[in-house]
Amino acid sequence: MSIAIIVHGGAGNIPDEEIDLYIAGCRAALAAGWSLLQSGASALDACEAAVRIMEDDPIFDAGTGSVLTSLGTVELDAAVMDGRTLRYGSVANLRHVRNPISLARRVLEGPATFLAGAGAEEFATRHGLERCENSALIVPREYALWQRRRAQPQTAALDHGHDTVGAIAIDAAGNLVAANSTGGTFFKLPGRIGDTPLVGCGLYADARVGGAVCTGWGEAITRLALARRAVELLERGMEPQAAADLAIHTLANSANDGQGGCIILSPDGRIGFARNTPYMAYAACVEGSDPIWGC
């Protein structure tokens, strides 16, 4: 079985001076996931490692560096889905967990499927995950954007994008796993949850068929259950690239007028990626081919 991994750093409107940072962040995540896969680690380990790197990289809207809610706090969501068992772990509304993807993995391995808020935080403490002050997740760039938006509430244009992160990997044993993590949308209502932790919306993985991870305007993605829809296109025999193109075409042309992107990986290592936003940083590596990356 060929190992493979694809990661993305969010679909949005990336300022020119930040493009290299987005690509570097994706490549670092790819390298971490790839070296684990090469050493025989599971796709679950590879996805967790890749997403953790992007959560810790302040350029992305995930973990440290996430966008702020209208109250000026950070609230994090994440999920991971195992394509062989179809088990998943989702977490939402976290304020004190530094790496939500690791908590999502603990949930996947436990009796529940989705934990949110105080219960999820308590579960994190019980499993010894690193906790932090909410303020430790806030970076000056995001605080400044929040202050400007608060001063001019009508200036929606300050929302420079959706920089959620995601990964899909196939390991040597042939399992396929999808994972993602986000701070959500800029100036979101406290308590708001987007597509990211919702299975079938922000992500879907079926080791027999393939996996998809979406990013962008979560409300529109959720209404279409876009990740499941993309995997269904693979099920019908469509190429991953054609499936990604059609999924994003559907997002853009639905009544929602949605914006976003998606990445797709088939069990035999064919990849697809598409967006209808100005940019989506990504990086991918499939055994036997050179790595690719772009924005």
Active site residues: 164
Nearer to ligand ASP, 171 or 195 (CB): 195
**How many Å separate Cα 74 from the centre of its chain?**
16
Nearer to ligand ASP, 84 or 162 (CB): 162
CB of 163 to ligand ASP, least distance (A): 6
**Which residues contact ligand ASP (rule: CB under 6 A)?**
10, 61, 162-164, 182, 184-185, 194-196, 215-216, 218
- Rounded to whole angstroms, the maximal C-alpha distance in the chain is 55
Nearer to ligand ASP, 175 or 259 (CB): 259
CB of 288 to ligand ASP, least distance (A): 31
Nearer to ligand ASP, 90 or 196 (CB): 196
Distance CA 11, CA 264 (A): 14
Nearer to ligand ASP, 42 or 64 (CB): 64
CB of 170 to ligand ASP, least distance (A): 23
Instruction: Report the residue closest to ligand ASP, judged by CB.
Output: 218
Of the candidates 211, 180, 160, the one whose C-alpha atom is nearest the C-alpha of residue 77 is 180
Of the candidates 90, 71, 78, the one whose C-alpha atom is nearest the C-alpha of residue 134 is 71
CB of 77 to ligand ASP, least distance (A): 6
Distance CA 121, CA 187 (A): 22
Instruction: Say if residues 211 and 270 touch (Cβ distance below 8 Å).
Output: no
Report phi then psi at 200, rounded to 5. Answer: 95, -20
CB of 11 to ligand ASP, least distance (A): 7
